[in-house]
Amino acid sequence: MSNIMLNVENLHAYYGKSHVLHGVQFQVNAGEIVALLGRNGSGRSTTAKAIMGLVECTGKVDFKGQAIQGKPAYEVAHTGIGYVPENRDIFPTLTVHQNLMLGQKRGAKNPRWSFDDMYGMFPRLKERQHTEAGVMSGGEQQMLTLCRTLMGDPDLIIIDEPTEGLAPKIVELVAQYLQELKKRGVSVLLIEQKLTIAMAISDRTLVMGHGSIVFDGTPEALKADSYIRKEWLEV
């Protein structure tokens, strides 16, 4: 049985006539946290959307040995990929608990995660379980989005900028959450601006520039590569 969870080869993506991704290639292994780094506009979010079937693309995307490129987003999600977009998609008029219920996969046998797991990871959500999600702070909404995605029991979770605009204390909670996922064997593709969090928790780092992967290696190798950091990451 192959250890490769997600395999992306020669991925090209387009918005209308604009060619955004140019032959993107990488893998995410089972139980691995891979950070996808790069400046804004380098193509990171488009890569996530292309994997999820949300933008027009060509190339090869395999998940657990199954070809998913060209499938609609709901079918991709059913294969076991959870996606947390940048814009924190919550149902504002539903309570925290109702939002989590909507995340559950119907008929799933022995799911990995329970409501208690979510409330244990983020006690703040437990306190607010009967609160309408729309009145919560950005940080609380981010926790809720992460937890709702987990309730679908994905094998791989793609998270786009989970720490954007969050207080340092909440950023720490998100980092702990990502490590908890890894402990339970969930693979993570983390799209992140903050180098410190990405370096601290990822097994491997990918750097994107102009719609291509320009670096693929360990956080240590990236720390040692001042050229790549200067050229593609530092503002």
Q: Assign residue 127 the CATH number of its domain.
A: 3.40.50.300
The label of the residue with tokens 């995605």 reads: 149
How many folded domains does the chain comprise?
1
Tell me how many degrees the CA angle 49-234-45 measures, rounded to the nearest 5: 5
CB 21 within 8 A of CB 213: no
Query: What is the structure's pLDDT at 108?
Result: 64
Query: What is the structure's pLDDT at 1?
Result: 46
Instruction: Calculate Rg over the CA atoms of the chain.
Output: 17
The span from the CA of 225 to the CA of 70, in Å, is 36
**Single pTM value for the model:** 0.92
Average pLDDT of adjacent 10-residue blocks, the chain of 235 residues: 88 92 96 94 95 94 95 92 87 94 78 88 92 92 91 93 86 87 91 88 95 97 95 87
Domain span including residue 33: 4-233
Query: What is the structure's pLDDT at 72?
Result: 93
The span from the CA of 116 to the CA of 95, in Å, is 16
